[in-house]
Amino acid sequence: EPETEIRFAARIDGAQGGIDTTRTEMIVYGEIEVGEQKNGEKRRPGETEIGRPNECQMTNDDLYGAKAPTPELSNYRTMESSNHKIYFTSDAFEPTSGDWYGIRFVNGLEREIDNWVIEHATCCLDMPMTEKLELKNSNIIGASQYGLLFGGEEIEVKSCNLINNHTGTKIETEAFEVKESWFIDNHIAMIFEAGSGEIKNNLIVGNDTGMVISGIAGEIKENMIENNGIGIYLICEISDLQIGSCNEFDHNFGYHMYNDTPDSVDATENYWYPAEPESIALYIYDYYDDPNLGVVWFKPTAGGFAGGPQGYGDAQLEKIKVSFGSNPTTHFAINYSLPSTQDVNISVYDVTGRLVSREDEKKEKGSYNLVINNLPNGVYFVKFKASELEIERKIILLK
């Protein structure tokens, strides 16, 4: 019956005992261990084994696990010698996302999961209080909510594929490493809400949003972030976060980076495509779009593949503020503030490349507002220089 609870232990076969496993939840006491597959043996999707020596099997629609009165007896793991994938999936004729809940670990043990495939669930792996998780060489596919929902103390995700999930991973933890994994065609590839760690050498492609970052410290580096709606979305408390070096932001069709925080971000050691400075600036949302937000700083890398607004000196990196206002605009105004005396040059060009306005003088520390009133409607290009900072912007004037 709905909500009936069946308790399984090793060497008990519920399906062969007449239990309708499509209408039950299963709580597993003890250990699930999957041995080597026999030559020529075919295993149905959704079918795994309990107590391999007895050849008994358990087929599940909704598997809840690792709730043992003695924690040392409770653990999901695969045998170290296993070299084939273990499948947890829907038994529907035409599987769809959310066909079954997924696998939920309800105690705080350490887990090592290797060579699993979990698909078509609501939440493929739900681990609210696992002390430590090592997830390796596994595929998580087609979750209607979360591929991996982790709220424990420490997590490492390595060499995994998270594909076509609503959210690939949502992680709120003390320490994390996510590396060498593929996040493809998810609504959101990754959400990080707490912790410190490293996101390194991942392929993040074709997602509506690649990463949503909130309240974490650490480094995002050497990732391919390509063809997403938004590559990285920053929403709060990112002052201890480094975005670099050598991430590659390639043709994200909304924004490479959306900084929705008051903190500035040093992203100066990354690669950007398209590589023209004006093109890069169009794909970054920050202070120059909303003066209440922080700046995303970027500059050419050693190989010359990137460019744009450039903050070279640490003293200037988060202190010079420039705002061009709304765009298009009804009046031509540039607001800027300087942390110290600077040589400032502001040049304005029309679409033919003709210089139509220029201000070039030494400015003391303080805030300034440059208004140009004598320009007709049209498209203009502004070049702002102050010491080692250079910014270019296109402005459309519509009075």
Instruction: Kindly report, residue by residue over 35-60, the tens digit of the pLDDT.
Output: 444 444 443 333 333 322 223 233 33
What local confidence, expressed as pLDDT, does residue 18 receive?
55
CB 380 within 8 A of CB 332: yes
**Residue 18: what are its φ and ψ, rounded to 5°?**
90, 10
Q: For 240, left (φ over 0), alpha (ψ -120 to 50), or beta?
A: alpha
Q: Is the pTM of this model over 0.75?
A: no
What local confidence, expressed as pLDDT, does residue 81 receive?
35
* DSSP code string of 113-167: EESEEEESBSEEEEESS-SEEEEES-EEE--SSEEEEE-SSEEEEES-EEES-SE
Between CA 129 and CA 124 the distance in angstroms is 16
Cβ of 196: how many Cβ atoms within 10 Å? 14
CB 141 within 8 A of CB 116: no
What local confidence, expressed as pLDDT, does residue 80 receive?
38
CATH T-level fold of 332-397: Immunoglobulin-like (2.60.40)
Give the SS3 label for residue 215. Answer: coil
**What are the structural domain ranges in the chain?**
80-319, 332-397
What local confidence, expressed as pLDDT, does residue 162 receive?
96
